[in-house]
Amino acid sequence: MRNPLNKRLPRELKHDFGKYLVIFLFMVMMISLVSGFLVADNSVKHSYDEGFEKYNLEDGHFALDKEPDSSLINDIENKTDSKLYDLRYFEEDEADSGDTIRVYKDRTEVNLECVMKGEMPAADNEIALDRMYAQNAKIKIGDTIKLAGKELKVTGFVAVPDYSCLFENNSDMMFDATNFSIAVMTDKGFENVSSNHVKYNYAWKYNKEVIGDKAEKEASEDFLENLGDIIKEYDTKLIMSGNTDIISVSDYLPRYTNKAVNFTGDDMGSDKATIMLFDYIVMVVIAFVFAVTTSNTISQEA
């Protein structure tokens, strides 16, 4: 016996073609939007997480108000069971735009740069800028910027793992890729700028790997306590010898609280949850539409 629906279904689709076409296109667009977003988000999140190890991201950093001697650095490393890396930098306002540029020496051991376009500086009058800042400021490779009275040629655009988002200060509510940038120069080029705003910043890596926010919190608290004791002991010796030029810690930031590192990962995680919630809501709406459509069809046939 032939199924009567074989003729009825095409006739029904033809009768309400516009309605079913809209529902079909709506479903296709929603599936494409959600699946495309989730694939892109997972891909970016994977690259972000992979970069921690690939570019040897720091476990945290601290800054001193004066340049320490090698004995103090060795003492900190021994008593905190960590390795310190000199990541001193200076900040200068770009002469024409007034934007703040935070300049580091070329990194060779920790927080390694990823060259996005162009090449790393080779000459003393060359500089590489953050890619996002350069894009917003419409700076091209080969352009020049002026810092502390010296003209510097832009040779490339870079990204660094400790500034996946450009937070000038960790207390800032939002990153600023328009008026702030990090930059990299050669060691000699860094010294030749002769900035009066050098900050003696040191990154640290624990000798034993620390995994998880709770473990990082405990390790960073121990590190800070030991660091404070070491600096206090060092300053006491200076005062006892008649030297009042003591050293103090001017900044301390473990990785797990660093917005410049964590904002990107946290943002991608929250975006994924939002798009999945949106998907669930759309599914409920579509189910409601089908329920109403089916009910109307039954009423018409009754």
Q: Which residues neighbour 25 within 8 Å (Cβ) at sequence distance 6 or greater?
A: none
Q: How far is Cα 242 from Cα 237, in angstroms, rounded to an integer?
A: 9
Q: Which residues neighbour 250 within 8 Å (Cβ) at sequence distance 6 or greater?
A: 63, 64, 65, 199
Predicted structure pTM score: 0.80
How many H-runs (helices) and E-runs (strands) does the chain carry? 7, 11
Q: E strands within the chain?
A: 60-64, 82-86, 89-93, 100-105, 114-118, 126-130, 144-147, 150-159, 180-185, 198-206, 249-254
* pLDDT of 1: 52
Per-residue pLDDT of the chain (302 residues; tens, 9 = 90+): 566 656 666 777 777 777 778 888 888 888 888 888 888 878 777 778 888 889 999 999 999 999 999 999 999 999 999 999 999 999 999 989 999 999 999 999 999 999 999 999 999 999 999 999 999 999 999 999 999 889 999 999 999 999 999 999 999 999 999 999 999 999 999 999 977 889 999 999 999 999 888 999 999 999 999 999 999 999 999 899 888 888 999 999 999 999 999 988 777 766 777 888 888 888 888 888 878 877 777 776 65
For residue 25, give Cα distances in angstroms to 20, 22, 131, 163, 286.
9, 5, 38, 41, 12
pLDDT digits (tens, 9 = 90+) for 201-239: 999 999 999 988 899 999 999 999 999 999 999 999 989
* pLDDT of 49: 80
In this structure, what DSSP letter does residue 123 have? S
Establish how many alpha carbons lie within 13 A of residue 167's alpha carbon, considering only the half-sphere containing its beta carbon. 19
Count how many residues are written for the chain. 302
